[in-house]
Amino acid sequence: MSKTSSEKYISLNALTKFKDEDGKYHFQSDKEAVQEYIKTQIEPSMMKFSTLEEKLKYLVDNNYYDEEILNRYSKTFIREIYAIGKEYDFKFRNLMGAMKFYTSYGLRTDDKKYYLETFTERAIMNALFLANGSEDLAKKLVGDILSNRFQPATPTFLNAGKKRRGEYISCYLLRLEDNMESIARGVATSLQLSKRGGGVALCLTNLREGQAPIKGIKNQSSGVVPVMKLLEDTFSYANQLGQRQGAGAVYLSAHHPEILKFLDTKRENADEKIRIKSLSLGVVIPDITFQLAQKGEDMALFSPYDVYKVYGKPMTDISITKEYENLLRNDKVRKTYINARKFFQTLAEIQFESGYPYILYEDTVNERNPHKKAGRIVMSNLCSEIAQVSTASTYTEDMSYYHVGQDICCNLGSINIAEAMKDGKNFGEMIGRAVEALDRVSRASDLNCAPSIKRGNEENHAIGLGAMNLHGFLATHHIYYDTPEAVDFTDMFFYATAYYAFKASHYMAMKKGAFTGFADSEYADGSYFKKYTEELNVPKTEKVKELFEKYNFYIPTQEDWKVLVEDIKKNGLANAHLLAVAPTGSISYLSSCTPSLQPVVSPVEVRKEGKLGRVYVPAYEIDDENYKYYEKGAYEVGPDAIIDVAAAAQKHVDQAIAMTLFVTSQATTRDLNRAYIRAFKKKCSSIYYVRIRQDVLEGSEKFEEDSIIKNENKEVRNCDGSEECQTCMI
């Protein structure tokens, strides 16, 4: 590789940021950069084979491909699907997508000298794995992936079809109980799961506070911070063959006695004894906290140790909002007080310093929870889009299970909204294939190392189908992000997605049976679906109505829902949960589209990529005509517009949405508090990161370092799903 050839594709990519003498942007230069990158950096290092059969034999014999997956199909079909894949003539739409694939996803020889896969070949192995022997489904999934309509999450796309691999699952959720066996088991399980490439979130709410009694002896407990330290070391130690760094998050109730100490672990000037550097933090906030802040009152923090003694169950398993007054009156429950408004101010301060904590709106997710009889939603995951019930496990003294509870795993994938709309006539069928593919992930993973997660997965087969490229669709159809039309489109798109997802899960239930506990869910009596059977859902703006008509997109009617609900009541659903919108940082780069439901930070994003320095990433199908619809990006539209769009989707998403808020350095803690309240009132389930834009001068050019927060002279990257990120890699 000559220096000249290396510099050429970088130079072509850099032109993307600038205008020519006629005032036109050089967006075509990035496409030329892709061609140059493939020609000079990839093709010379691609291992060559005379025939497909020779290549597959090499990959199987050298333990790269899993022969068992290939053997589910005839040799004739294998040749056919590779020919079909080639006919799609897949090309990366920008340099960042090509680089992301070949640095993070594409299979390479063990010595890293040669590439063994193209994107098309990785897509084919995903289709063969996800179709599980169905030739028709495999062919259609190849088309969905190569047309960028559907993209499996990183762990699935990375590992499908490989002999030596991690699991296909994005992340895991574990709850800890207030005993040493549960803590030790949680640490050990986190290590095992990190080894397999998944991020792990743990709920610490049930752990007794510092100085609480142990065996009746006062002032003995060490509290939650030492457990956080143990977990941080655990995650920093583990990685999946160097491919994915171990990553973890911990959630704590806002009414836990150590909530302020918990938050203080992320302060820039925190004492090293308590400072948490790489572990992500999340706070679970019930409605009562907002109510107390609105009144300007103090909020009580309750001892989990005493709550368990009084109620006979852990603190997570009671509603703080419903039991608040009873807890206040009960002298057997120790309590301390902090000012509720001061709590929210502290929350905002920490987010300005670190981007953390995530926020889960406890009562909002539990009101929406269709499995109330099964238990409560007590936490979320590393990207705050999972909201499922978990139940306690109990252990013997040797840490073996006495009773296996239910914990959670995330089986994720995303629809590319803009590309899916182009094939609007077949949207329902495409959603059906995506649901079936994710159901396959839920049934194929080996979770023996985590019995409680295995049980939760086997009984629920919960999946999280999400979406990305919303801003890309809006901009290419000349809709500004912060408009009623954007909210209206989001509402109707997810309304339709929910219908087709439930329809697909019902169809699978007729073949595979309903998930365990269906009969006790609000699906079974139809009450979950009242928002569809008793309310009319139609486009509110003429522009959105015309868009769906343009693409021959059928919007289900109220009568369609009534028929479907009766079928569901009769035959069940295969999956306890269906929709969750992940951040899609990594896979949106892979698909050259805008991430999740978020607006872009800039029409041409600036990324720092190791030794290459800056890589310029133009927005999806950007041109001089639609540039202005991208120009008003995440920081310009501000939190309100982002919350309104997320809230429109959230009406139809049965779990949560990884919603990142963007503010400038001129914003105040009061501004963030207003955003929390708006999201709360709009019934959003969660808030992911808060990203702060730092405006600095670089030479004579104003440069926005929009995804980096300065923390003690160290660059700490907010989660963008990249391989350098310390969180989820969704």
pTM value? 0.93
Closest to 365 (Cα-Cα) out of 453, 285, 455 = 285
Rounded-to-integer distance, Cα 385 and Cα 461, Å:
17
> What phi and psi, each to the nearest 5 degrees, are found at residue 61?
-65, -30
Domains of the chain: 7-154+409-571 (no CATH), 171-391 (3.20.70.20)
Instruction: Check whether 196 has a pLDDT greater than 60.
Output: yes
C-alpha to C-alpha distances, 351 to 266, 347, 692, 713, 728, nearest whole angstrom: 9, 6, 9, 17, 19
Residue-level pLDDT at 268: 86
Written in H, E and C, the secondary structure of 209-271 is CCCCCECCECCCCCCCHHHHHHHHHHHHHCECCCCCECCEEEEEECCCCCHHHHHHCCCCCCC
Q: Where are the beta strands (DSSP E) in 479-600?
A: none
Residues 72, 77, 82, 88: is their CA dihedral positive or negative?
negative
Per-residue pLDDT reduced to its tens digit, 580-632: 999 998 999 999 999 999 999 999 999 887 766 789 999 999 999 999 999 99
Per-residue pLDDT reduced to its tens digit, 35-83: 999 999 999 999 999 999 999 999 999 999 999 999 999 999 999 999 9
**Which one-letter DSSP state was computed for residue 708?**
E
Q: For residue 17, give both structure tokens.
A: 């940021």
Instruction: Give the active site residues.
Output: 381, 383, 385
238-242, 423-427, 525-529, range with the lowest pLDDT? 238-242
Rounded-to-integer distance, Cα 167 and Cα 280, Å:
22
Beta strands 464-468 and 412-416 are parallel
Enumerate residues 6+ apart whose C-beta is below 8 A from 612. Answer: 10
Residue-level pLDDT at 719: 35
Residue-level pLDDT at 665: 87
Alpha helices by DSSP H, 296-333:
304-311, 320-329
Q: Any bridge partners for residue 175, and if so which?
A: 203
Per-residue pLDDT reduced to its tens digit, 156-172: 999 999 999 889 998 99
Residue-level pLDDT at 608: 83
Per-residue pLDDT reduced to its tens digit, 136-151: 999 999 999 999 999 9
